[in-house]
Amino acid sequence: MTIYRTMKMADDVLKIVKKELNKKKRYYLEFYENGREHGYAITDFNIKIVFSENRNSDDVVVYYAESNKFSMQGNIPDEEVYKDKKFFQNIEDAAKYIIKYLN
């Protein structure tokens, strides 16, 4: 059960991503929350990718960059990362993008 209704989309993306991640690598999973966006952050030591339902649409929004481009308090990306965000209209495309980025 999700905490927020807006976590439903992130939960669905995460289910797909977890099945396809490189099992030889170690990933860290954390919650992501920024105002009305609630989702997950996945870190692979040097890189971080954050995904949630976009606050202004029904799209999945994905933020990604080197880990040091995110605040340690809440996984909030810096302005540069916000500018490079990606939008996906369905969870499968978002999950494929995340998997490709992490693997």
- 1 part of a folded domain: no
In percent, the amount of the chain with pLDDT more than 90 equals 47
**DSSP state, residue 4:** S
pLDDT exceeds cutoff 60 at 4? no
- 71 part of a folded domain: yes
- 44 part of a folded domain: yes
* pTM of the predicted structure, to 2 decimals: 0.87
- 37 part of a folded domain: yes
pLDDT band at 29 (very low <50, low <70, confident <90, very high): very high
- 2 part of a folded domain: no
- 43 part of a folded domain: yes
pLDDT exceeds cutoff 50 at 1? no
- 92 part of a folded domain: yes
- What domain count does the chain have? 1
Per-residue pLDDT averaged across 38-65, rounded? Answer: 91
Q: Which residues contact 73 (CB under 8 A, 6 or more apart)?
A: none
Higher pLDDT, 33 or 72: 33
Cα–chain-centroid distance for residue 69?
Answer: 14
- 23 part of a folded domain: yes
Structural domain boundaries enclosing 81: 7-102
| Paired strand residues for 65 | 48
